[in-house]
Amino acid sequence: MRKTDSEQVGGVILQYLREMGLETPLNEHRLIQAWDKVLGPAVSRYTKELRIYNQVLFVTVSSAALRNELMMRRTELVARLNAQAGAQVITQIVLR
């Protein structure tokens, strides 16, 4: 006896996350975790707070020089962070 209407586990889990409204928070968490991977430990040392609100990543940076460097690379960082998270999670970055 063989079932022909079988689905992959990953698809079922993704569908469940969407139905429960958990896909966006999961993607946001992945993006925040990706910050350390994309920018490295040297930059992570100077970032104090990362949060996402309305597809905008708010980052508190303790170094003015680093903040200016990151501001010049914002577009590139958005693309790299979204690629690492595997979804279009943010559209812009605000550095404070």
pLDDT, mean over the chain: 92
Model pLDDT for residues 36-69, shown as the tens digit of each residue: 999 999 999 999 999 999 999 999 999 999 999 9
Give the predicted TM-score (pTM) of the model: 0.86
At which residue do the structure tokens 């350390």 appear? 36
Model pLDDT for residues 4-24, shown as the tens digit of each residue: 777 888 888 888 888 898 899
At 80 the pLDDT is 97
At 3 the pLDDT is 66
The H helix count followed by the E strand count for the chain is 4, 3
Q: What are the angstrom distances between the C-alpha of 52 and each of 17, 25, 75?
A: 19, 10, 16
Secondary structure of residue 89 in the 3-state scheme: coil
Q: Which residue has the higher pLDDT, 22 or 83?
A: 83
